[in-house]
Chains A and B, each alone.
Chain A
């Protein structure tokens, strides 16, 4: 099994690996669906970025995703500025998140740690543009299981895309341990089999490729009431299926504790130290 190591500018390491405690990547530095956040970014105001960075690390995030993509935001300048600000605010490695390669490059240029780049797809235009950046800046990268034909509905087909991502990265000189695969979760409100497909894909990717696995999991409950409980049930299942560095909201009540409890039950928490530490550290929850 492969270990993905990312680190902050000060050298603080976070290690992602199967059988190890789950790494929590905080998702809240992201203006999607948050009007006030987007409006501040349009004006060049990064105060919420800083606030969210502090809040999430306090809430137990091991690493932070940084995304400033919204309509009318100058993403190239703002992503680099946000990455710089966050890394001066908290000591946690960053996941640099943009669909614009120019923005990724500008941010990677200012970042002094080892970042996780979010993301590359198996589409040629993405592979040829993003992988050279990952190589040049010695980063790790999240590969999404989709290509020119979209997202396959069958786990074996999704695995093939993951395979292609790993092979192409290796050809570019990026080792497999620096590839983290996102098997993609779609909502169960339109297709009640879709979560099963994601879970089965994760099992295959872990067992066949041994690479580490991330997931933006909250999608799964879109369109349904009491989403929190669906997300929690899905997290527990996904962690067993191979998810080991979810991109999630560490401030969501109960969610981080659920991750710690699941780690313990899956034999990833020796002497229950992490779980007990979590209860001691956050006694009010």
Chain B
């Protein structure tokens, strides 16, 4: 098995320490850091992502796999910064105001990173104003809004309205998601995309930017 295969395997079998060690070794062997990310870490994470979508693995396993990916990224960070390959796109993600749900949104963030996006995660209970400010700071291609309870669903539409008002004419795509969100609601409030689960969110984000 090649070392890249080994990294992929170690991510998919949830071994943060081993992933870090293998990434160090891969760098020593002179493998390009971007290749390690793509063919090792991201490849491993997408194995887990597909299994998760199919119901074969569960939330704690996705979280530990993500931790393994991050452990590998730590090793590669300094090298990556100097040889930065362009991300496929930039995403700003957060859970809307009054909503404290973190996990689903973080899963989507990790899977997007896994697919090659640069992701800025502004956390939970984020007001429309907080999104507007973060857009100025990070200039994302896509903004992802999460709502996990019916009582905060109205903040999806409100946040979209405030963002559109703050940036009229800006070619900014907005996606929404979360358990109570439906395609019908997404259409009604003028969202550009909706994913019913994390994997679908990634697919939608890629298609929205005409990448896949």
The residues of A with any CB-CB pair to B shorter than 8 Å are: 31-33, 35, 69-72, 98-100, 146, 150-151, 187, 189-190, 192, 222-225
Contact residues in A for B58 (Cβ distance below 8 Å): 189, 223-225
Q: Is the CB of A190 within 8 A of B150?
A: no
- B185 x A71 contact (CB < 8 A): yes
A31, A223, A225 pick with most chain B CB within 10 angstroms: A223
Of the candidates B102, B151, B179, B188, the one whose C-beta lies within 8 Å of that of A33 is B179
Output the least CB separation between A152 and chain B (Å): 11
**Contacting pair B179 A32 (CB below 8 A):** yes
Contacting residues, chain A, for B179 (C-beta < 8 A): 32-33
Once the chains are docked, how many angstroms separate the CA of A224 from the CA of B63?
12
Can you name 17 A-B pairs with beta carbons within 8 Å? A31-B150, A33-B179, A33-B180, A70-B150, A71-B150, A71-B181, A71-B184, A72-B184, A99-B150, A100-B151, A189-B103, A190-B59, A190-B60, A190-B103, A192-B60, A224-B58, A224-B60
Secondary structure of the B contact surface, majority rule: loop
> A151 contacts which of B60, B100, B184 (Cβ < 8 Å)?
B100
Q: How far is the CB of B179 from chain A (nearest CB, A)?
A: 6
How many angstroms between the C-alpha atoms of A155 and B56 in the bound complex?
Answer: 34
Contact A146 B100 (CB under 8 A): yes
Closest A residue, CB atoms, query B185:
A71
Contacts of B103 in A (CB 8 A): 187, 189-190, 222-223
Q: Which residue of A lies closest to B153 (CB)?
A: A71
Measured between C-beta atoms, what is the minimum distance from B82 to chain A in Å?
A: 34
Measured CA separation A33–B180 after assembly (Å): 6
Tell me whether A190 and B63 are in contact (CB under 8 A): yes
Chain A proximity mask over B85-110: 1 for CB below 8 Å, otherwise 0: 00000000000000010110000000
Assembled-state Cα–Cα distance A265/B53 (Å): 41
Instruction: Choose from A69, A72, A150, A192 the contact partner of B185 (Cβ within 8 Å).
Output: A72
CA distance A81 to B63 in the complex (A): 43
| CA gap between A230 and B63 in the complex, in Å | 19
Q: How far is B96's CA from A139's CA once the two chains are assembled, in angstroms?
A: 31
Give the residues in chain B near A69, CB-CB below 8 Å: 150-151
Residues on A with C-beta less than 8 A from B153 are: 71
Q: Does B75 contact A (CB under 8 A)?
A: no
Chain B residue nearest in CB terms to A151:
B100
Check if A35 sits within 8 Å of B182, measured CB to CB.
Answer: yes
| 8 Å CB interface, B140-167 against A | 149-151, 153
- Residue B13 at the A interface, CB < 8 A? no
B99 to chain A, nearest CB (A): 10
Does B127 interact with chain A (Cβ within 8 Å)?
Answer: no
Neighbouring A residues of B185 by C-beta, 8 Å:
71-72
B44-83 Cβ-contact flags toward A at 8 Å (1 or 0): 0000000000000011100100000000000000000000
In this complex, what residue of A is CB-closest to B56? A225
Residue of A31, A100, A224 near B59 (CB, 8 A) is A224
Chain A residue numbers with a CB within 8 Å of B60 are 189-190, 192, 223-224
The answer to whether B151 touches A71, judged by C-beta atoms less than 8 angstroms apart, is: no
Q: Mark B175-204, 1 if CB is under 8 A from A, else 0.
A: 000011110110010000000000000000
Task: Report if B34 contacts A (CB, 8 A).
Answer: no
Bound Cα distance from A72 to B180, whole angstroms: 11
Partner of B151 from A99, A151, A187 at Cβ < 8 Å: A99
Q: Once the chains bind, are B182 and A71 in contact (CB under 8 Å)?
A: yes
Distance of A146 Cα from B124 Cα, bound (Å)? 14
Q: Decide if A150 touches B125 in the complex (CB within 8 Å).
A: yes
Partner of A71, one of B63, B102, B124, B180: B180
Query: How close is A67's CB to chain B, nearest CB, in angstroms?
Result: 8
Partner of B102, one of A99, A190, A192, A224: A190
B180 touches A189 (CB 8 A): no
A183-B92 Cα distance, complex, nearest whole Å: 32
